[in-house]
Amino acid sequence: MSSIYILWIRQLKRYVRSRSRIVSSLGQPVLYLIALGFGFGPIFQKAGEGSYLQFLAPGVVGMTILFTAMFNGIELIWDRQFGFLKETMVAPVPRVMIMLGRTFGGTTVAVIQGLIVVIVCVVAGFRPVNWTFVPVAFTFMVLIGFSFTALGTAIASLLSDFQGFQLVMNFLVMPIYFLSGALYPLRNAPPVLEAIARIDPLAYGIDGLRAAFLGSSHFGLLTDFAVLGFAAILFLALGSYFFHRIQL
C-alpha cells in the first residue's frame, strides 16, 4: 500500500509543479463554453431544449476529465523513454501496485481538473438544479477519471514511443468524446449514433453528470453507475494485464 501512496503523491507533485499545464488545460473547456455554449445557445433554445449552456456544461466537465485521464495514462510512454519507469519497476513491489498508484494519481489529477472546470462553468452561468446531488456528480467524475486513466495506461503499455499517440487521439479519444452525447441530446439523435453511444463508457459518465447536476437522464442514474463501474473494473484489469507484460 505504501508504494501506491508514493506513486499517487508523485503524480500530484508533477501536476502541481506544472503550472503551465494547469492553465493550458483550461483553454479548450473555456473555448467550448464560449463558442458552443453561447454561440449555439439561441438555436438550442429555439428548438425548445432550454439553455444550451446548462446542457453543455456536464459534457465539458466530462471532456476535461477524459483528456486529462488519458494523457496521464499516456505519460507512461514518456517515463519509459526517459528511464523513470525502469527506476520504478526495480522497486521490490508487485507491478499491479505500481499500476494502481499511477492510476489513483492520474484519477486525482483528472478530478481536480474537472472540479476547476465546474467552477469555470458556474462562473459562466451554469447552475445545478439540486446542489445536494453534487456528491453524486463527484462520484461520476471519479469513475470517469479512474476508467480512462486505466485505459490510457493499458494503451501506453502497448506503445513503445509517441508515434502511435496521434493515432490514439484521432481514432479513440476524440470519437469517445464526440459520440458520447456530450454535445447533443441522445434522445433526438439518429438511431446509429444512439446505438454507438450505448457502447461508449463516457456516454454513461456524462449522462450520470447530467442526472446529478440537472435531474435529467437518458439511460437512468443506476444504469449509468452500473455500466461505468463495470467499465472501470474492465479497464483496470486490462491496464494491470498489459502493464505487467511491459518489457523494459
The larger pLDDT score, comparing residue 181 to residue 12, is at 181
The larger pLDDT score, comparing residue 112 to residue 18, is at 112
What integer is the mean pLDDT of 170-198?
88
**What are the boundaries of each domain within the chain?**
2-244
What integer is the mean pLDDT of 21-40?
76
Q: Which residue has the cell 435531474?
A: 215
The larger pLDDT score, comparing residue 153 to residue 247, is at 153
Type of residue found at 99 = M
Residue 86: CB atoms within 10 A of its CB come to 11
Comparing C-alpha atoms, which of 73, 204, 81, 56 is closest to residue 151? 73
- Per-residue pLDDT band for 12 (boundaries 50, 70, 90) equals low
pLDDT for position 237: 92
H-run or E-run covering 99: helix 95-124
Contact 40, 47 (CB under 8 A): no
Contact 127, 154 (CB under 8 A): no
Query: Which pTM value belongs to this model?
Result: 0.89
The mean pLDDT value of the chain amounts to 83
Q: What are phi and psi of 73, to 5 degrees?
A: -70, -40
pLDDT for position 17: 58
The larger pLDDT score, comparing residue 60 to residue 96, is at 60
Residue 104 has pLDDT above 80, yes or no: yes
Q: What percent of the chain has pLDDT over 90?
A: 33
